[in-house]
Amino acid sequence: YEDEDNRKKRLLLPRVSYLTLVTDKVKKHFLKVMKQEDMEEMWFEYEGTPLKWHYPIGVLFDLHASNTVLPWSITVHFKNFPDRDLLRCPSHSVIEAHFMSSIKEADALKHKSQVVNDMQKKDHKQLWMGLQNDKFDQFWAMNRKLMEYPTEEGGFRYIPFRIYQTMSDRPFIQKLFRPVSPEGNTHTLGSLLKEMYPAAIPNEVCPDDFQKRYQVVIHGIEPLLETPLQWLSEHLSHPDNFLHICIVPTPTD
Amino acid sequence: MSSCVLDKETFRHCCQLLLQLSEQLGDCWCWVPVQDSQDGYLRKTALRLVTIDSRPFGDQAESSSELGPHNSCLSGPDVQQNDQDQSALIGSANGDIIRGDIEDQDNKDNRDGDDGEDRICRMCEGSSQVLQYEYHILFSCSYRAPVLYFRVCTLEGRSLSLEEVWGSIHPNFRLCLQTSPFTMVTQQEHPLLGQAFFMLHPCRTEDFMRPLLQAAQDQNSPTGSCLITWAKLCLTRESCTYFQLCPREKSDMV
Protein backbone atom coordinates (compact mmCIF):
# COMPACT_ATOMS: atom_id res chain seq x y z
CA TYR A 1 0.00 0.00 0.00
CA GLU A 2 1.14 3.57 -0.57
CA ASP A 3 2.17 5.91 2.18
CA GLU A 4 0.18 9.09 2.05
CA ASP A 5 3.34 11.00 2.64
CA ASN A 6 5.28 10.73 -0.64
CA ARG A 7 8.44 11.78 1.13
CA LYS A 8 8.53 8.41 2.86
CA LYS A 9 8.77 4.86 1.68
CA ARG A 10 8.58 1.82 3.93
CA LEU A 11 10.45 -1.37 3.15
CA LEU A 12 11.30 -4.59 4.90
CA LEU A 13 14.99 -5.20 4.27
CA PRO A 14 16.97 -8.42 4.72
CA ARG A 15 19.78 -8.17 7.25
CA VAL A 16 22.12 -10.13 5.03
CA SER A 17 21.70 -8.07 1.89
CA TYR A 18 23.04 -4.69 0.78
CA LEU A 19 21.24 -1.34 0.64
CA THR A 20 21.81 -0.67 -3.04
CA LEU A 21 20.68 -4.18 -3.96
CA VAL A 22 17.24 -3.91 -2.38
CA THR A 23 16.26 -0.29 -2.85
CA ASP A 24 15.37 -0.01 -6.53
CA LYS A 25 11.80 0.53 -5.32
CA VAL A 26 12.97 3.55 -3.37
CA LYS A 27 14.37 5.17 -6.47
CA LYS A 28 11.15 4.45 -8.36
CA HIS A 29 9.10 5.86 -5.52
CA PHE A 30 10.94 9.15 -5.45
CA LEU A 31 10.82 9.45 -9.22
CA LYS A 32 7.14 10.25 -8.68
CA VAL A 33 7.97 13.40 -6.78
CA MET A 34 11.30 14.35 -8.35
CA LYS A 35 12.56 14.98 -11.84
CA GLN A 36 14.93 12.35 -13.18
CA GLU A 37 17.38 15.04 -14.29
CA ASP A 38 17.62 16.27 -10.69
CA MET A 39 18.53 12.83 -9.40
CA GLU A 40 22.17 11.84 -9.17
CA GLU A 41 23.46 8.69 -7.53
CA MET A 42 21.26 7.67 -4.61
CA TRP A 43 22.85 7.41 -1.19
CA PHE A 44 21.67 6.84 2.36
CA GLU A 45 22.32 8.60 5.61
CA TYR A 46 21.37 8.11 9.25
CA GLU A 47 21.74 10.94 11.78
CA GLY A 48 24.37 12.66 9.69
CA THR A 49 26.40 9.53 8.94
CA PRO A 50 26.54 8.36 5.33
CA LEU A 51 25.71 4.64 5.29
CA LYS A 52 28.21 2.36 3.57
CA TRP A 53 26.22 0.31 1.11
CA HIS A 54 28.96 -2.32 0.91
CA TYR A 55 28.35 -3.29 4.54
CA PRO A 56 25.50 -5.79 5.10
CA ILE A 57 22.29 -4.01 6.11
CA GLY A 58 22.14 -5.83 9.44
CA VAL A 59 25.65 -4.66 10.30
CA LEU A 60 24.72 -1.04 9.54
CA PHE A 61 21.67 -1.30 11.76
CA ASP A 62 23.48 -2.97 14.66
CA LEU A 63 26.28 -0.46 14.43
CA HIS A 64 24.26 2.74 14.13
CA ALA A 65 20.79 2.06 15.46
CA SER A 66 20.80 -1.17 17.42
CA ASN A 67 18.90 0.09 20.42
CA THR A 68 16.39 2.24 18.61
CA VAL A 69 12.78 1.43 17.93
CA LEU A 70 11.87 0.13 14.49
CA PRO A 71 11.24 1.32 11.79
CA TRP A 72 14.75 2.51 11.19
CA SER A 73 14.45 5.99 9.66
CA ILE A 74 17.04 6.40 6.95
CA THR A 75 17.31 9.55 4.88
CA VAL A 76 17.64 9.08 1.12
CA HIS A 77 19.72 11.57 -0.88
CA PHE A 78 19.99 12.17 -4.59
CA LYS A 79 22.52 14.99 -4.53
CA ASN A 80 25.92 15.82 -3.04
CA PHE A 81 27.21 12.30 -3.06
CA PRO A 82 29.99 12.14 -0.41
CA ASP A 83 32.60 10.72 -2.78
CA ARG A 84 35.36 10.77 -0.22
CA ASP A 85 33.45 8.58 2.22
CA LEU A 86 31.24 6.34 0.14
CA LEU A 87 32.05 3.96 -2.66
CA ARG A 88 30.22 4.47 -5.92
CA CYS A 89 27.57 1.97 -6.84
CA PRO A 90 26.52 2.58 -10.42
CA SER A 91 25.11 -0.91 -10.98
CA HIS A 92 24.35 -4.24 -9.35
CA SER A 93 27.46 -5.74 -10.90
CA VAL A 94 29.51 -3.55 -8.56
CA ILE A 95 27.71 -5.09 -5.58
CA GLU A 96 28.34 -8.54 -7.02
CA ALA A 97 32.05 -7.72 -7.41
CA HIS A 98 32.27 -6.63 -3.77
CA PHE A 99 30.39 -9.64 -2.55
CA MET A 100 32.61 -12.05 -4.49
CA SER A 101 35.71 -10.19 -3.37
CA SER A 102 34.67 -10.76 0.28
CA ILE A 103 34.02 -14.42 -0.36
CA LYS A 104 37.45 -14.77 -1.97
CA GLU A 105 39.17 -12.99 0.85
CA ALA A 106 37.36 -15.14 3.42
CA ASP A 107 38.48 -18.27 1.61
CA ALA A 108 42.05 -16.98 1.43
CA LEU A 109 41.91 -16.92 5.23
CA LYS A 110 40.05 -20.21 5.68
CA HIS A 111 41.56 -22.41 2.99
CA LYS A 112 44.41 -20.48 1.33
CA SER A 113 41.89 -19.84 -1.47
CA GLN A 114 41.88 -23.51 -2.48
CA VAL A 115 38.12 -24.06 -2.24
CA VAL A 116 37.05 -20.88 -4.02
CA ASN A 117 39.65 -21.36 -6.75
CA ASP A 118 38.45 -24.92 -7.33
CA MET A 119 34.95 -23.64 -7.97
CA GLN A 120 33.88 -22.80 -11.47
CA LYS A 121 32.62 -19.41 -12.54
CA LYS A 122 29.06 -20.73 -12.56
CA ASP A 123 29.47 -21.80 -8.93
CA HIS A 124 30.51 -18.28 -7.98
CA LYS A 125 27.53 -16.98 -9.90
CA GLN A 126 25.29 -19.34 -7.97
CA LEU A 127 26.44 -17.84 -4.67
CA TRP A 128 25.60 -14.37 -5.89
CA MET A 129 22.26 -15.32 -7.45
CA GLY A 130 21.30 -17.12 -4.24
CA LEU A 131 21.85 -13.92 -2.30
CA GLN A 132 20.32 -11.60 -4.85
CA ASN A 133 17.16 -13.66 -5.30
CA ASP A 134 16.93 -14.76 -1.67
CA LYS A 135 17.26 -18.46 -2.53
CA PHE A 136 18.62 -20.13 0.60
CA ASP A 137 19.04 -23.62 -0.84
CA GLN A 138 20.68 -22.39 -4.02
CA PHE A 139 23.14 -20.36 -1.97
CA TRP A 140 23.98 -23.10 0.52
CA ALA A 141 24.46 -25.75 -2.14
CA MET A 142 27.70 -23.91 -2.91
CA ASN A 143 28.40 -22.22 0.39
CA ARG A 144 28.61 -25.51 2.29
CA LYS A 145 31.85 -26.21 0.42
CA LEU A 146 33.29 -23.01 1.84
CA MET A 147 32.38 -24.19 5.33
CA GLU A 148 34.24 -27.48 5.18
CA TYR A 149 37.66 -28.16 6.65
CA PRO A 150 39.98 -31.16 7.02
CA THR A 151 38.92 -33.11 10.14
CA GLU A 152 42.47 -33.31 11.43
CA GLU A 153 42.72 -29.51 11.43
CA GLY A 154 39.85 -28.94 13.79
CA GLY A 155 38.73 -25.83 11.94
CA PHE A 156 39.60 -23.23 9.36
CA ARG A 157 43.13 -21.94 8.99
CA TYR A 158 42.14 -18.44 10.11
CA ILE A 159 38.70 -17.08 10.95
CA PRO A 160 37.38 -14.35 8.62
CA PHE A 161 36.00 -11.66 10.91
CA ARG A 162 35.65 -7.90 11.22
CA ILE A 163 34.98 -6.04 14.44
CA TYR A 164 33.18 -2.72 14.02
CA GLN A 165 32.74 0.06 16.51
CA THR A 166 31.79 3.69 16.06
CA MET A 167 33.99 4.94 18.86
CA SER A 168 37.23 5.16 16.89
CA ASP A 169 38.45 6.39 13.50
CA ARG A 170 39.42 2.96 12.37
CA PRO A 171 36.52 1.53 10.36
CA PHE A 172 37.05 -2.06 11.57
CA ILE A 173 39.54 -4.43 13.12
CA GLN A 174 40.58 -7.38 11.01
CA LYS A 175 43.59 -9.53 11.85
CA LEU A 176 44.78 -13.10 11.62
CA PHE A 177 43.25 -15.31 14.30
CA ARG A 178 43.13 -19.08 14.49
CA PRO A 179 40.11 -21.03 15.74
CA VAL A 180 42.34 -23.33 17.80
CA SER A 181 45.34 -22.34 19.87
CA PRO A 182 48.76 -23.98 19.33
CA GLU A 183 48.10 -25.97 22.53
CA GLY A 184 44.86 -27.29 21.06
CA ASN A 185 42.41 -25.10 23.01
CA THR A 186 39.24 -24.00 21.27
CA HIS A 187 39.12 -20.26 20.83
CA THR A 188 35.86 -18.57 21.76
CA LEU A 189 34.25 -15.23 20.99
CA GLY A 190 35.66 -14.12 24.32
CA SER A 191 39.20 -15.13 23.44
CA LEU A 192 38.92 -13.27 20.12
CA LEU A 193 37.80 -10.11 21.89
CA LYS A 194 40.43 -10.46 24.57
CA GLU A 195 43.01 -10.27 21.80
CA MET A 196 41.35 -7.69 19.55
CA TYR A 197 39.16 -5.51 21.76
CA PRO A 198 39.71 -6.20 25.45
CA ALA A 199 37.57 -3.27 26.54
CA ALA A 200 34.50 -5.15 25.33
CA ILE A 201 34.92 -7.88 27.93
CA PRO A 202 33.65 -6.73 31.30
CA ASN A 203 35.81 -8.72 33.64
CA GLU A 204 39.10 -7.93 31.96
CA VAL A 205 38.87 -4.20 32.34
CA CYS A 206 36.68 -3.53 35.36
CA PRO A 207 36.11 -6.63 37.48
CA ASP A 208 34.00 -4.69 39.96
CA ASP A 209 31.87 -3.11 37.29
CA PHE A 210 28.65 -5.15 37.24
CA GLN A 211 27.25 -3.05 34.44
CA LYS A 212 28.57 -4.05 31.03
CA ARG A 213 29.91 -1.06 29.14
CA TYR A 214 29.58 -2.62 25.71
CA GLN A 215 27.35 -5.06 23.88
CA VAL A 216 28.89 -7.52 21.45
CA VAL A 217 26.33 -7.95 18.69
CA ILE A 218 26.17 -10.41 15.79
CA HIS A 219 23.01 -10.42 13.63
CA GLY A 220 21.26 -8.36 16.26
CA ILE A 221 21.87 -10.77 19.13
CA GLU A 222 24.52 -11.05 21.83
CA PRO A 223 26.05 -14.53 21.63
CA LEU A 224 27.63 -15.89 24.78
CA LEU A 225 31.33 -15.12 24.98
CA GLU A 226 31.96 -18.84 25.55
CA THR A 227 30.69 -19.69 22.05
CA PRO A 228 33.42 -21.38 20.00
CA LEU A 229 34.70 -19.10 17.25
CA GLN A 230 34.80 -21.91 14.69
CA TRP A 231 31.09 -22.58 15.29
CA LEU A 232 30.28 -18.88 14.94
CA SER A 233 32.21 -18.74 11.69
CA GLU A 234 30.34 -21.72 10.24
CA HIS A 235 26.87 -20.72 11.40
CA LEU A 236 26.71 -16.98 12.04
CA SER A 237 28.79 -15.66 9.18
CA HIS A 238 27.09 -13.46 6.66
CA PRO A 239 26.68 -14.72 3.09
CA ASP A 240 30.01 -13.04 2.31
CA ASN A 241 31.56 -15.63 4.68
CA PHE A 242 32.71 -13.01 7.17
CA LEU A 243 31.74 -12.87 10.83
CA HIS A 244 30.70 -9.24 11.28
CA ILE A 245 30.84 -8.28 14.94
CA CYS A 246 29.53 -4.94 16.20
CA ILE A 247 30.61 -3.47 19.51
CA VAL A 248 28.13 -0.87 20.66
CA PRO A 249 27.82 1.04 23.92
CA THR A 250 25.25 -0.50 26.24
CA PRO A 251 22.32 1.88 26.41
CA THR A 252 21.93 3.62 29.75
CA ASP A 253 18.28 3.78 30.66
CA MET B 1 56.51 -18.74 -4.70
CA SER B 2 56.32 -19.11 -0.94
CA SER B 3 59.11 -16.62 -0.42
CA CYS B 4 56.85 -13.99 -1.92
CA VAL B 5 54.53 -14.37 1.05
CA LEU B 6 55.33 -11.79 3.67
CA ASP B 7 54.53 -11.37 7.27
CA LYS B 8 53.83 -8.07 8.92
CA GLU B 9 57.24 -7.68 10.48
CA THR B 10 59.05 -8.29 7.21
CA PHE B 11 56.74 -5.80 5.53
CA ARG B 12 57.53 -3.21 8.18
CA HIS B 13 61.23 -3.83 7.84
CA CYS B 14 61.06 -3.52 4.08
CA CYS B 15 59.12 -0.30 4.39
CA GLN B 16 62.03 1.12 6.35
CA LEU B 17 64.32 0.13 3.48
CA LEU B 18 61.87 1.72 1.06
CA LEU B 19 61.99 4.95 2.99
CA GLN B 20 65.76 5.03 2.81
CA LEU B 21 65.60 4.47 -0.93
CA SER B 22 62.94 7.12 -1.23
CA GLU B 23 65.20 9.64 0.39
CA GLN B 24 68.12 8.70 -1.84
CA LEU B 25 65.98 9.07 -4.94
CA GLY B 26 64.58 12.35 -3.76
CA ASP B 27 61.09 10.92 -3.58
CA CYS B 28 58.68 11.71 -0.79
CA TRP B 29 57.32 8.51 0.70
CA CYS B 30 56.67 8.58 4.41
CA TRP B 31 55.57 6.11 7.07
CA VAL B 32 52.19 6.74 8.68
CA PRO B 33 51.77 4.93 11.99
CA VAL B 34 48.39 3.70 13.09
CA GLN B 35 47.27 4.78 16.52
CA ASP B 36 47.62 2.27 19.34
CA SER B 37 49.48 -0.31 17.33
CA GLN B 38 52.65 -1.05 15.48
CA ASP B 39 50.69 -1.08 12.25
CA GLY B 40 51.24 1.54 9.66
CA TYR B 41 51.56 2.19 5.97
CA LEU B 42 53.59 4.06 3.40
CA ARG B 43 52.16 7.19 1.92
CA LYS B 44 53.06 9.58 -0.84
CA THR B 45 51.17 12.56 -2.10
CA ALA B 46 51.93 14.50 -5.22
CA LEU B 47 50.46 17.34 -7.21
CA ARG B 48 50.58 16.93 -10.94
CA LEU B 49 49.47 18.78 -14.01
CA VAL B 50 47.52 16.21 -15.92
CA THR B 51 45.54 16.01 -19.09
CA ILE B 52 42.58 13.77 -18.78
CA ASP B 53 41.31 11.97 -21.82
CA SER B 54 37.65 12.80 -21.62
CA ARG B 55 36.54 10.49 -24.39
CA PRO B 56 34.20 7.68 -23.38
CA PHE B 57 35.81 4.66 -21.86
CA GLY B 58 35.55 2.41 -24.89
CA ASP B 59 36.95 4.97 -27.29
CA GLN B 60 40.04 5.50 -25.19
CA ALA B 61 41.19 1.98 -25.81
CA GLU B 62 43.03 1.15 -28.96
CA SER B 63 42.25 -2.48 -28.44
CA SER B 64 38.72 -3.53 -27.71
CA SER B 65 37.63 -3.28 -24.16
CA GLU B 66 34.87 -5.42 -22.75
CA LEU B 67 34.01 -2.76 -20.24
CA GLY B 68 31.54 0.05 -20.52
CA PRO B 69 31.70 3.39 -18.76
CA HIS B 70 29.64 2.19 -15.85
CA ASN B 71 31.85 -0.61 -14.72
CA SER B 72 33.96 0.26 -11.79
CA CYS B 73 36.40 -2.52 -12.46
CA LEU B 74 39.22 -2.52 -14.97
CA SER B 75 40.59 -5.75 -16.23
CA GLY B 76 42.03 -6.91 -19.50
CA PRO B 77 41.23 -10.08 -21.36
CA ASP B 78 43.29 -13.10 -20.49
CA VAL B 79 46.44 -13.26 -22.55
CA GLN B 80 49.49 -15.43 -22.40
CA GLN B 81 52.03 -14.39 -19.89
CA ASN B 82 55.08 -12.78 -21.34
CA ASP B 83 57.70 -10.35 -20.24
CA GLN B 84 56.06 -7.41 -21.92
CA ASP B 85 52.87 -7.93 -19.95
CA GLN B 86 54.71 -8.20 -16.72
CA SER B 87 56.70 -5.08 -17.21
CA ALA B 88 53.52 -3.26 -18.14
CA LEU B 89 51.91 -4.57 -14.99
CA ILE B 90 54.88 -3.43 -12.97
CA GLY B 91 54.41 -0.06 -14.55
CA SER B 92 50.80 0.03 -13.59
CA ALA B 93 51.56 -0.44 -9.92
CA ASN B 94 53.45 2.80 -9.91
CA GLY B 95 51.40 5.91 -9.68
CA ASP B 96 53.89 7.93 -11.65
CA ILE B 97 52.48 6.74 -14.92
CA ILE B 98 50.51 9.75 -15.82
CA ARG B 99 50.99 12.01 -18.71
CA GLY B 100 52.32 15.02 -16.92
CA ASP B 101 55.15 13.20 -15.31
CA ILE B 102 56.54 11.05 -18.05
CA GLU B 103 60.01 11.82 -19.35
CA ASP B 104 58.95 10.58 -22.74
CA GLN B 105 62.38 9.31 -23.54
CA ASP B 106 61.01 7.07 -26.24
CA ASN B 107 59.57 10.07 -28.02
CA LYS B 108 62.75 12.09 -28.00
CA ASP B 109 63.64 10.92 -31.46
CA ASN B 110 60.24 11.82 -32.75
CA ARG B 111 60.21 15.27 -31.27
CA ASP B 112 59.21 17.82 -33.82
CA GLY B 113 60.29 20.84 -31.90
CA ASP B 114 57.18 21.34 -29.81
CA ASP B 115 57.47 21.26 -26.05
CA GLY B 116 56.22 18.37 -24.01
CA GLU B 117 52.86 19.78 -23.05
CA ASP B 118 51.82 20.52 -26.61
CA ARG B 119 52.70 17.03 -27.63
CA ILE B 120 50.67 15.66 -24.76
CA CYS B 121 47.65 17.76 -25.54
CA ARG B 122 47.65 16.62 -29.12
CA MET B 123 47.44 13.01 -28.02
CA CYS B 124 43.93 13.24 -26.76
CA GLU B 125 40.93 15.38 -26.13
CA GLY B 126 40.53 16.85 -22.69
CA SER B 127 41.54 19.61 -20.36
CA SER B 128 44.64 20.11 -18.26
CA GLN B 129 44.27 20.51 -14.56
CA VAL B 130 46.28 20.12 -11.40
CA LEU B 131 45.33 16.99 -9.52
CA GLN B 132 46.34 15.65 -6.16
CA TYR B 133 47.49 12.05 -6.12
CA GLU B 134 47.74 10.08 -2.97
CA TYR B 135 49.28 6.60 -2.78
CA HIS B 136 49.24 4.24 0.18
CA ILE B 137 51.02 0.93 0.44
CA LEU B 138 49.41 -1.24 3.08
CA PHE B 139 49.94 -4.79 4.18
CA SER B 140 47.05 -7.18 3.64
CA CYS B 141 47.19 -9.89 6.26
CA SER B 142 44.55 -11.84 4.36
CA TYR B 143 46.71 -12.13 1.25
CA ARG B 144 50.07 -11.64 2.95
CA ALA B 145 51.15 -9.12 0.40
CA PRO B 146 51.58 -5.38 0.03
CA VAL B 147 48.57 -3.68 -1.52
CA LEU B 148 48.52 -0.38 -3.36
CA TYR B 149 45.67 2.03 -2.62
CA PHE B 150 45.38 5.35 -4.36
CA ARG B 151 43.01 8.22 -4.88
CA VAL B 152 42.99 11.27 -7.08
CA CYS B 153 41.24 14.55 -6.31
CA THR B 154 40.92 17.95 -7.87
CA LEU B 155 42.22 20.85 -5.85
CA GLU B 156 38.62 21.61 -4.91
CA GLY B 157 38.38 18.20 -3.28
CA ARG B 158 36.30 16.36 -5.85
CA SER B 159 37.34 12.73 -6.16
CA LEU B 160 37.99 11.47 -9.66
CA SER B 161 36.02 8.53 -10.94
CA LEU B 162 37.75 5.42 -12.18
CA GLU B 163 37.08 6.44 -15.78
CA GLU B 164 38.79 9.76 -15.22
CA VAL B 165 41.78 8.13 -13.52
CA TRP B 166 41.98 5.77 -16.44
CA GLY B 167 41.87 8.74 -18.77
CA SER B 168 44.86 10.30 -17.03
CA ILE B 169 47.15 7.38 -17.80
CA HIS B 170 49.52 7.70 -20.74
CA PRO B 171 48.04 5.99 -23.81
CA ASN B 172 51.01 3.67 -24.21
CA PHE B 173 50.65 2.39 -20.69
CA ARG B 174 46.91 2.27 -20.93
CA LEU B 175 47.16 -0.05 -23.91
CA CYS B 176 49.50 -2.35 -22.03
CA LEU B 177 47.35 -2.29 -18.94
CA GLN B 178 44.34 -3.32 -20.93
CA THR B 179 46.09 -6.25 -22.50
CA SER B 180 47.62 -7.35 -19.26
CA PRO B 181 45.70 -10.04 -17.44
CA PHE B 182 46.79 -8.76 -14.09
CA THR B 183 45.43 -5.26 -13.82
CA MET B 184 42.46 -5.31 -11.53
CA VAL B 185 41.66 -1.93 -10.12
CA THR B 186 38.49 -1.45 -8.11
CA GLN B 187 37.15 1.05 -5.68
CA GLN B 188 37.52 -0.14 -2.09
CA GLU B 189 37.18 1.12 1.43
CA HIS B 190 40.59 1.95 2.88
CA PRO B 191 40.91 -0.51 5.78
CA LEU B 192 42.49 2.02 8.13
CA LEU B 193 40.88 5.29 7.09
CA GLY B 194 37.46 4.03 6.01
CA GLN B 195 37.48 6.31 2.96
CA ALA B 196 37.03 5.55 -0.74
CA PHE B 197 40.21 4.60 -2.57
CA PHE B 198 41.13 2.64 -5.65
CA MET B 199 43.00 -0.57 -5.01
CA LEU B 200 45.25 -2.78 -7.08
CA HIS B 201 44.21 -6.33 -6.31
CA PRO B 202 46.65 -8.18 -4.10
CA CYS B 203 45.79 -11.64 -5.37
CA ARG B 204 47.68 -10.70 -8.48
CA THR B 205 50.66 -9.31 -6.66
CA GLU B 206 52.23 -12.71 -6.39
CA ASP B 207 51.81 -13.29 -10.12
CA PHE B 208 53.72 -10.24 -11.12
CA MET B 209 56.26 -10.48 -8.38
CA ARG B 210 57.14 -13.99 -9.45
CA PRO B 211 59.59 -12.99 -12.20
CA LEU B 212 61.19 -10.45 -9.90
CA LEU B 213 61.58 -12.99 -7.21
CA GLN B 214 63.04 -15.42 -9.69
CA ALA B 215 65.63 -12.89 -10.72
CA ALA B 216 66.40 -12.05 -7.12
CA GLN B 217 66.73 -15.70 -6.25
CA ASP B 218 69.04 -16.23 -9.17
CA GLN B 219 71.35 -13.83 -7.45
CA ASN B 220 71.04 -15.77 -4.19
CA SER B 221 69.10 -12.93 -2.69
CA PRO B 222 66.67 -13.34 0.17
CA THR B 223 63.10 -12.10 0.24
CA GLY B 224 64.31 -8.74 1.39
CA SER B 225 65.99 -7.93 -1.88
CA CYS B 226 62.84 -8.97 -3.74
CA LEU B 227 61.08 -6.31 -1.80
CA ILE B 228 63.82 -3.81 -2.42
CA THR B 229 63.17 -4.38 -6.09
CA TRP B 230 59.48 -3.73 -5.46
CA ALA B 231 60.53 -0.61 -3.64
CA LYS B 232 62.60 0.60 -6.55
CA LEU B 233 59.65 0.06 -8.82
CA CYS B 234 57.38 2.09 -6.65
CA LEU B 235 59.83 4.84 -6.04
CA THR B 236 61.54 5.78 -9.21
CA ARG B 237 60.03 8.45 -11.38
CA GLU B 238 61.50 6.97 -14.49
CA SER B 239 58.31 5.32 -15.65
CA CYS B 240 59.80 4.46 -18.97
CA THR B 241 62.53 2.54 -17.22
CA TYR B 242 59.79 0.52 -15.63
CA PHE B 243 58.19 -0.07 -18.92
CA GLN B 244 61.37 -1.49 -20.32
CA LEU B 245 62.23 -3.39 -17.18
CA CYS B 246 62.73 -6.98 -18.10
CA PRO B 247 63.16 -9.77 -15.56
CA ARG B 248 66.14 -11.09 -17.45
CA GLU B 249 68.06 -7.84 -17.04
CA LYS B 250 69.74 -8.76 -13.80
CA SER B 251 71.76 -5.59 -13.70
CA ASP B 252 68.55 -3.76 -12.93
CA MET B 253 67.78 -5.99 -10.01
CA VAL B 254 68.72 -5.14 -6.46
SS (H, E, C) B35-47: CCCCCEEEEEEEE
Answer yes or no: do A188 and A238 share one domain.
yes
Probe site for chain A from B32, B35, B147, B187 (most A CB atoms < 10 A): B187
pLDDT at B96: 37
What CATH number does residue A21 fall under? Answer: 3.10.20.620
In a domain, A208, yes or no: yes
pLDDT at A108: 94
pLDDT attached to residue B197: 94
Is the per-residue pLDDT at A179 higher than 90? Answer: yes
| A90 Cβ under 8 Å from any chain B Cβ | yes
Q: Are residues A245 and A162 in the same domain?
A: yes
Residues in B whose CB is inside 8 Å of some CB of A read 34-35, 70-73, 141-143, 157-159, 161, 186-196, 203
Q: Is position A83 within any domain?
A: no
- A13, pLDDT greater than 70: yes
Report pLDDT for A206: 58
Same domain, A102 and A123: yes
Q: Which residues in B lie closer than 8 A to residue A54 (C-beta atoms)?
A: 189
* CB-CB neighbors (< 8 A) of B195 in chain A: 84-85
Distances (CA, A) of A64 to A12, A18, A200, A247: 18, 15, 17, 10
Q: What percent of chain A has pLDDT over 90?
A: 74
A positions 145-204 inside 8 Å of B (CB): 160, 168-172, 174-176
Partners of B185 on chain A (C-beta within 8 Å) are: none
Q: Do B191 and A52 touch (CB under 8 A)?
A: no
d(CA B167, CA B54): 7
Question: In a 3-state reduction of DSSP, which class is residue A209?
Answer: coil
Q: Spell out the residues 6+ positions from residue A193 whose beta carbon is closer than 8 angstroms to its own.
A: A163, A200, A201, A216, A225
Q: What is the pLDDT of residue B110?
A: 39
User: Which of A49, A53, A83 to mutate to probe the B interface, most B CBs <10 Å?
Assistant: A83
Q: Average pLDDT, whole number, for chain A?
A: 91
Last residue of a domain, one of A77, A106, A124: A77
Report the pLDDT value the prediction gives residue B123, as an integer from 0 to 100.
Answer: 37
At B116 the pLDDT is 38
A39 and A80 in contact (C-beta within 8 Å)? no
Whether A98 is covered by a domain: the verdict is yes
Domain that holds residue A4: 1-77
Check A104 against B71: CB less than 8 A apart: no
Q: Do A18 and A72 fall within a single domain?
A: yes
Whether A162 shows a pLDDT value over 80: the answer reads yes
Give A144 or B66, the one with higher predicted confidence: A144
Residue A84 inside a domain? The answer is no
Q: Measure B140 CA to nearest chain A CA, in Å.
A: 9
Query: pLDDT band at residue A185, thresholds of 50, 70 and 90?
Result: very high
Residues A126 and A48 in one domain: no
* CATH number of residue A229's parent domain: 3.10.20.90
Residue B210's pLDDT is what? 53
Is the CB of A91 less than 8 angstroms away from the CB of B70? yes
CA distance A177 to chain B (A): 10
* B198: closest CA of chain A, how far (Å): 10
Q: Please judge whether A84 and B196 are an interchain contact, meaning their C-beta atoms are less than 8 angstroms apart.
A: yes
A95 touches chain B (CB under 8 A): no
Top-confidence residue, A143 or A213? A143
pLDDT at position B235 is 42
Interchain CB contact of A105 with B (< 8 Å): yes
Query: What is the arithmetic mean of pLDDT over A57-79?
Result: 94
Considering the domain architecture, whether residues A157 and A231 belong to the same structural domain is answered as yes
Alpha carbons A162 and A173: distance in angstroms, whole number: 6
Examine the domain organization and report whether A160 and A133 are in the same domain: no
Using only C-alpha atoms, what is the Rg of chain B? Answer: 18
Residue B77 DSSP class: P
Distance from CA of A113 to the nearest CA of B (A): 9
Query: Across the interface, do B73 and A88 touch by the CB < 8 Å criterion?
Result: no
Same domain, A118 and A133: yes
Phi first, then psi, for residue B68 (nearest 5°) are -100, 175
Among candidate residues B235, B234, B33, B8, the one with its CA nearest the CA of residue B140 = B8
The pLDDT of residue B245: 28
Q: What is the pLDDT of residue A59?
A: 97
Report pLDDT for A44.
97
pLDDT given at position A8: 84
Partner B contacted by A212 (CB < 8 A): no
Q: Which of A77, A103, A138 is the last residue of a domain?
A: A77
Closest CA to B10 of B141, B193, B150: B141
Q: Is residue A87 in some structural domain? A: no
Ranges of chain B whose pLDDT falls below 70: 1-6, 52-126, 166, 168-184, 201-254
Contact B138, B188 (CB under 8 A): no
Distance from CA of B175 to the nearest CA of A (A): 24
Question: How many domains is chain A partitioned into structurally?
Answer: 3
- Beta strands B196-200; B185-189: pairing state: antiparallel
Here the CATH number for the domain that contains residue A109 is 1.10.246.190
Question: How would residue A219 be classed by pLDDT, with cut points 50, 70 and 90?
Answer: very high
A229 CA to chain B: closest CA distance, Å?
18
Could you report how far apart the first and last alpha carbons of chain A are, in Å? 36
CA distance A240 to B126: 40
Quick one: average pLDDT of A53-69? 95
Across the interface, whether the CB atoms of B196 and A170 are under 8 A apart is answered: no
Q: A234 and A193 in one domain? A: yes
Q: What do you get for the CA distance between the two ends of chain B, in Å?
A: 18
Residue A126 has pLDDT above 80, yes or no: yes
The tens digit of pLDDT for each residue in B29-51 reads: 899 998 777 788 989 888 877 77
Give the one of A83, A171, A174 whose C-beta lies nearest to B194's C-beta: A171
Which residues of chain B neighbour A60 with C-beta distances below 8 Å? none
